[in-house]
Amino acid sequence: MRLGVLDIGSNTVHLLLVDAHPGARPVPFASHKRPLSLVQFLDGDGNINDAGQHELIEFVLEAWEFAAKHKADDLLAFCTSAIREATNGLAVLARVKHETTVTLQELTGSEEASMTFFAVRRWYGWGAGPILDLDIGGGSFEMAYGQDELPELAMSVPLGASRLTRDWLHEDPPSARSVKELRRYIRATLSPVVRNFERLGRANLVAGTSKTFRSLARIAGAAPSAAGPYVKRELFAADLGLWAQRISAMRVEDRLHLPGVSDARAHQLLAGALVAEAALELFEFPSMEICPWALREGLILRRLDQLVFDGPLEPAPHVGQLAESRPAINRAADVR
């Protein structure tokens, strides 16, 4: 069967289609994504403005039609911190449903951390022992620890790379003072949270599950994505400290020359590095492994597990039905 997962994140909006069945690993079939930083569309009151809503609705319709074209049997659609923390988040979700017929499931921070951990556990298996998973998004930073398939503790804090860049790093390159103040803020925010995890015991494995961690590992010498998902990739705290210092002195345009750094993420690379550096330091681990599976895979695997107990899916509407069942998007020029 073909399953789709539509991920409305803080940095990108991404539809991933996979072929899978219960008991099998999901095999990527196709994807459709675009950079869309919803936090850049926030007004002074924390609302996603009309232009941002319009961009979001346009992509949801594109994704819906893409899934129909490729005959997806099921579509999981969810959103994370960008909409979760917007003042008008519920109104945005209602508008998306009205104009596209797609219901976006709003994940809490702990649910996001739990489903990402679930994917990590499936990737590494029981032999990994206790796992600590760290995930840096655009709006939030998730942490989860456990010995089973679902974590014993899953927490989220507002330390996303895009959010921190917007709030703290206003210059290019940033001033030494702003970097110092951001370091202090990150540690002050993380320290009490880390103490909650310390009571549970020490992990055998620390996993990093985000594009930010993958980029940082690549900069520090890890294998490129072209080498495939089964190559072991590590990010060492010592290397991370050196690169955080180097990146802090670089302009955004210069960061684009670093391996594995995209246009969409170059500006927030330093904030992500500072969060990663603080996390490894406070959890007292010298390194982490980069896991190729994360939230999207966790949701897909969880859905496949449900099929074992709930039975086969009812066929989802395809192509013509999808196109006919939704209202047409309003492409009025006044939202540009």
Average pLDDT over residues 27-50: 91
Average pLDDT over residues 116-140: 96
Q: Give, in order, the Cα–Cα distances in Å from 316 to each of 15, 87, 137, 253, 265.
A: 16, 33, 31, 44, 35
DSSP state of 120: H
Superfamily of domain covering 2-108+296-335: ATPase, nucleotide binding domain (3.30.420.40)
In contact, 276 and 235? CB cutoff 8 Å: yes
Q: Is residue 12 predicted with pLDDT exceeding 60?
A: yes
**Amino acid code (one letter) for 3:** L
Q: Is residue 148 predicted with pLDDT exceeding 80?
A: yes
Over residues 154-190, the pLDDT tens digits come to 999 999 999 999 999 999 999 999 999 999 999 999 9
* pLDDT class of 333 with cuts at 50, 70, 90: very low
Q: What pLDDT score was predicted for residue 319? A: 33
Report the chain's mean pLDDT, rounded to a whole number.
90
Compute the distance between CA of residue 114 and CA of residue 155 in angstroms, rounded to an integer.
9
Question: What is the model's pTM?
Answer: 0.89
- Is beta strand 131-136 parallel, antiparallel or unpaired with respect to 105-106? unpaired
> 142: which strand partners?
135, 156
Average pLDDT over residues 235-252: 97
Q: What pLDDT score was predicted for residue 309? A: 63
What is the residue-wise DSSP string for 38-103? GGGGB-TTS-B-HHHHHHHHHHHHHHHHHHHHTT-SEEEEEE-HHHHTSTTHHHHHHHHHHHH---
Q: What pLDDT score was predicted for residue 310? A: 63
Q: What pLDDT score was predicted for residue 3? A: 93
DSSP state of 9: -
CATH code, residues 109-294: 3.30.420.150
Over residues 20-34, the pLDDT tens digits come to 888 888 999 999 998
207 or 326: which carries more pLDDT confidence? Answer: 207
Q: Is residue 273 predicted with pLDDT exceeding 70?
A: yes
Q: What pLDDT score was predicted for residue 21? A: 85
Q: Is residue 316 predicted with pLDDT exceeding 90?
A: no
Whether the link from the prior residue into 192 is cis, omega within 30° of 0, is no
Average pLDDT over residues 233-249: 97
**Amino acid code (one letter) for 245:** Q
- Going through the chain in order, the beta strands assigned E by DSSP cover 2-8, 12-19, 27-35, 74-79, 105-106, 131-136, 141-146, 153-157, 205-208, 234-236, 287-290
Q: Is residue 326 predicted with pLDDT exceeding 60?
A: no
> 78: which strand partners?
7, 105
CATH 3.30.420.150 positions along the chain are 109-294
Of 15, 101, 68, the closest CA to residue 319 belongs to: 68
CATH 3.30.420.40 positions along the chain are 2-108+296-335
Comparing 70-84, 137-151, 152-166, 310-324, the range with the smallest average pLDDT is 310-324
Q: Is residue 317 predicted with pLDDT exceeding 60?
A: no
Q: What pLDDT score was predicted for residue 325? A: 43
